[in-house]
Amino acid sequence: MFRALMLTQVDRRTHAELVELDESQLPPGDVTVRIEYSSLNFKDALAVTGRGAVVKNWPLVPGIDLAGVVERSSDPAWQPGDRVVVNGWGLGETEWGGLAQKARLSPQCLLRLPAAFTTREAMAIATAGYTAALCVIALQRHGLEPGADEVLVTGAAGGVGSVAVALLAGLGFRVVASTGRPAEAEYLRFLGAAAILDRAELSSPGKPLQSERWAGVVDTVGSHTLVNACAQTQWHGAVTACGLAQGSDLPGTVMPFILRGITLYGINCMRVDEATRRLAWELLAQHVRSDQLAQMTQEIGLSEVIAYSPGLLDGKVRGRTVVDVNR
């Protein structure tokens, strides 16, 4: 028997409950993993609270990340004792996810745990940090290099934003961190931010074209913030969009695109080729320090997830939240 957080739906209302399951109740798959840690992301909290249409199959174990140890495998590429990390691949949406003590998975979604990380550290990064790394890779492939020009990170005190600040700073970029929480300024500077910008400067409607400022942008917020970031991006600059904390709308114009030639990259972490997945984790291992991870991470037990989720959605949680599934 093992514990899992189970989501069910009755009359279009989501019900979350901590339950005891038998291994025979796990879905089909070639690899059984004993989970040590998971994490709680914005998307997970939406699923647990029922505030967002995240879950596609019912009933479902939420959790878009997990890290643990292979217990059994019918695939020759994976052996008992292998330490693995999983994020994306429909976990917590269409497939049973990581907010449980065990998972049964397809071999293709497994990635060997980088030697630089413990399973707990991997979940301090998890999908949020991995998404931040994909944003940075997109900026690098666009041609951005460290220098005097600034890179903006919006929603910087959140999970994706925190890792993006640390990773960009570790690579040598000058990072401007936008946040609506002034009390987090010292925290963001510890992560490597060179300057702090009040989110109010970006969150209201602005002109279609504004003074050029950013060589690149990592946006986790959407809506007016993303539109203003685009309007302030330099000639042939790049903007990555990976979140919708402010909203899913895009109330802007084509002006920055056709007059300044900027590029807007949409970042989706669910289906990524293996080479890019490995590159993302290598970047994180090389350029995000363990003390930064420790500073940006809170830990809760599996039994606390339901009560904790609303606060995450309401912007009351700083950085990353690791879930110890064994308590």
- What does the pLDDT average to over 21-30? 96
- Provide the 3-class DSSP secondary structure of residue 282: helix
Does 229 have pLDDT greater than 90?
A: yes
Does 111 have pLDDT greater than 80?
A: yes
Residue 183 main-chain phi, psi, to 5 deg: -65, -15
Question: Structural domain boundaries of the chain?
Answer: 2-113+291-324, 127-266
Does 2 have pLDDT greater than 80?
A: yes
Pairing of strands 83-87, 65-73: antiparallel
- What does the pLDDT average to over 173-180? 98
- Which residues, including other chains, have CB under 8 Å from residue 236's CB and lie 6 or more apart? 260, 261, 262, 263
Q: Are 182 and 158 in contact (CB under 8 A)?
A: no
Pairing of strands 150-153, 214-219: parallel
Tokens of 183: 């009390």
Considering the entire predicted model, what is its pTM? Answer: 0.89
Place of tokens 């999908």: 127
Tokens of 186: 């010292």
The residues with which 324 forms a beta bridge, in sequence order, are 37, 301
pLDDT band for position 274 (50/70/90)?
Answer: confident
pLDDT of 12 reads 86
Does 141 have pLDDT greater than 80?
A: yes
pLDDT of 200 reads 97
Q: Are 151 and 312 in contact (CB under 8 A)?
A: no
For residues 207 and 296, what is the distance between their CA atoms, to the nearest angstrom?
A: 34
- What does the pLDDT average to over 84-105? 95
Nearest to 229 by CA among 245, 206, 258, 247: 206
pLDDT of 11 reads 87
Does 224 have pLDDT greater than 80?
A: yes
- Which residues, including other chains, have CB under 8 Å from residue 101's CB and lie 6 or more apart? 2, 3, 4, 34, 35, 302, 325, 326
Place of tokens 């003074």: 211
Name the amino acid, one letter, at 71. E
For residues 63 and 39, what is the distance between their CA atoms, to the nearest angstrom?
A: 7
pLDDT band for position 64 (50/70/90)?
Answer: very high
Q: Which helix (H) or strand (E) holds 321?
A: strand 320-324
Q: Which residue has the higher pLDDT, 26 or 272?
A: 26
Prior bond of 59 cis (ω within 30°)? yes
pLDDT band for position 104 (50/70/90)?
Answer: very high
pLDDT of 5 reads 98
For residues 162 and 125, what is the distance between their CA atoms, to the nearest angstrom?
A: 10
| Burial readout 34-48 (b: 16 or more C-beta within 10 A, e: otherwise) | bbbbbbbbbbbbbbb
For residues 236 and 74, what is the distance between their CA atoms, to the nearest angstrom?
A: 49
pLDDT of 147 reads 85
pLDDT of 9 reads 93
pLDDT of 154 reads 98
CATH tag, 127-266? 3.40.50.720
Does 258 have pLDDT greater than 90?
A: yes
- Which residues, including other chains, have CB under 8 Å from residue 232's CB and lie 6 or more apart? 152, 210, 211, 212, 213, 214
- Which residues, including other chains, have CB under 8 Å from residue 140's CB and lie 6 or more apart? none
Going by CATH, does the domain composed of 2-113+291-324 fall within 3.40.50.300?
no
Say how many C-beta atoms besides its own lie within 10 A of residue 97's C-beta.
30
